[in-house]
Amino acid sequence: VPAALSTTSYALLGLLVFDAETSRHGLTGYELKRRADRTLRFYWVSPAMSQIYTELARLGGLGLVESRPDAASDGPPDGDTAPAWPDEGSPAGTTDAPRGRRYRITQTGRAALLDWLHDSQAEFPVLKHPVALRLLMGQLLDPRAVVDLLNGYLDRLARQRADLETVRRRLGDNPDVRHPAMVADWGLAYYDSEAEIVRGLMDRVKADTRDPPD
């Protein structure tokens, strides 16, 4: 029954849940950031490092995540024997100089995430589209500048799509990541549609240039 969290908090909890299902050590803030860069950024945002740490501190305060000093950074790749979750106060003498902290979602955190997934009406997406915004004022520009604007966008779009494609390939058809794969496909289809629309708009601009020179 925690106080209201931001959507970004839940997004991070989501990343931690995924990790919990595939490993036992938890994630450092740094790793969390990289995961956010890999997937979250396409559908939400990838928070700044500094925000990740503040967020982690907040979630920790609420008991939604727990953290331990990271002593076990790459010991031998033992299957089972190593302590997966070392205790806070490590036995006296072992000054292992822990290099960081590893965070795991707690049961409470899991419950909070589930609550959010269930009873919160998902808000309508917010799109901040600088290209569309500029096109809106296209009559202030030379048609060539408008075409350049749209071409620039197509380039970025292609690069973004390629990045997402890489992510998608890594997911493969593993049923464990069926939903992430669906969302990646969504993103790819979105980029494709966007590119097609923009190409259409470019044609329109070019046609307007030939026919009625304003």
Partner DNA sequence: TGTAGCATGTAAGCCGTTACATGATTGA
Partner DNA sequence: TCAATCATGTAACGGCTTACATGCTACA
Length of the chain: 214
The entry of DNA, its own copies, none near residue 28 (CB within 5 to 8 angstroms by kind) is: DNA
| 53 part of the interface to DNA, by CB under 7 A | yes
Candidates 52-60, 140-148, 166-174, 188-196: pick the segment binding DNA (CB under 7 A).
52-60
The entry of its own copies, DNA, none near residue 6 (CB within 5 to 8 angstroms by kind) is: DNA
d(CA 202, CA 192): 15
Whether the CB-CB separation of 46 and 37 falls below 8 Å is answered with yes
Specify the residue, 71 or 154, whose C-beta has the smaller distance to its own copies. Answer: 154
Q: How far is the CB of 100 from DNA (least distance, A)?
A: 2
Q: Which helix (H) or strand (E) holds 8?
A: helix 7-22
Helix, strand or coil for residue 166? helix
| 34 part of the interface to its own copies, by CB under 8 A | no
Q: Binding mask 46-85 vs its own copies (x if CB under 8 A, - otherwise)?
A: ----------------------------------------
Rounded to the nearest 10 degrees, the angle between the axes of helix 107-119 and helix 7-22 is 120
Q: What is the DSSP letter of 92?
A: T
Count of other CB atoms within 10 angstroms of residue 127? 6
Backbone angles phi, psi at 65, to 5 degrees: -130, 155
Q: Which residues bind its own copies (CB under 8 A)?
A: 7, 10-11, 14, 17-18, 39-40, 42-45, 113-114, 117-118, 121-141, 145, 149, 152-153, 156, 160, 175-176, 178-180, 182-183, 185-187, 189-190, 193-194, 197-198, 200-201, 204-205, 208, 212, 214
